[in-house]
Amino acid sequence: MGADHSTEPGIPIPGPVLVSAEDLANRVAELGARITEDYEGKSPLLVGVLKGAFMFMSDLARAIDLPVELDFMAVSSYGHSTRSSGVVRIVKDLDLDLADRDVIVVEDIVDSGLTLNYLRKNLLGRNPASLEVCALLVHEDHKLDEKILKYEGFRIPPKFVVGYGLDVAQKYRNLSDIRVVEN
The CATH number given to whatever domain includes residue 104 is 3.40.50.2020
Please list, in sequence order, all residues whose beta carbon lies within 8 angstroms of the beta carbon of residue 49, skipping any fewer than 6 positions away: 72, 73, 74, 75, 105, 106, 107, 108, 115, 119
Is the model's pLDDT at 2 over the cut of 50? no
Distance CA 95, CA 83 (A): 29
Catalytic residues: 111
Question: Domain of 111?
Answer: 21-160
Q: For residue 4, is it within any domain? A: no
Question: Shortest CA distance to 107 belongs to which of 148, 168, 62?
Answer: 148
Q: Is residue 134 part of a domain?
A: yes
pLDDT band at residue 147, thresholds of 50, 70 and 90? confident
> What is the predicted pLDDT for the residue at 4?
46
Neighbours of 151 (CB within 10 A): 20
Q: Quick one: pLDDT at residue 150?
A: 92
Give the pLDDT confidence of 18-51 residue by residue, as tens digits. 999 999 999 999 999 999 999 999 999 999 999 9
- Residue 121 located in a structural domain: yes
- The pLDDT score that the predictor gives to residue 3 is 44
Q: Is residue 43 part of a domain?
A: yes
pTM for this entry: 0.88
If DSSP codes are grouped into helix, strand and coil, which group holds residue 110?
strand
Contact between 134 and 106 under an 8 Å Cβ cutoff? The reply is yes
* Domain-embedded: residue 183: no
Domains in the chain: how many in total? 1
Beta-strand pair 69-76/45-50: parallel
CA gap 110, 134 in Å, rounded: 10
Residue 42 inside a domain? The answer is yes
pLDDT, greater one: 11 or 159 = 159
Q: What is the pLDDT of residues 100-109, one digit of tens each?
A: 999 999 999 9
In a domain, 129, yes or no: yes
Domain membership flag for residue 61: yes
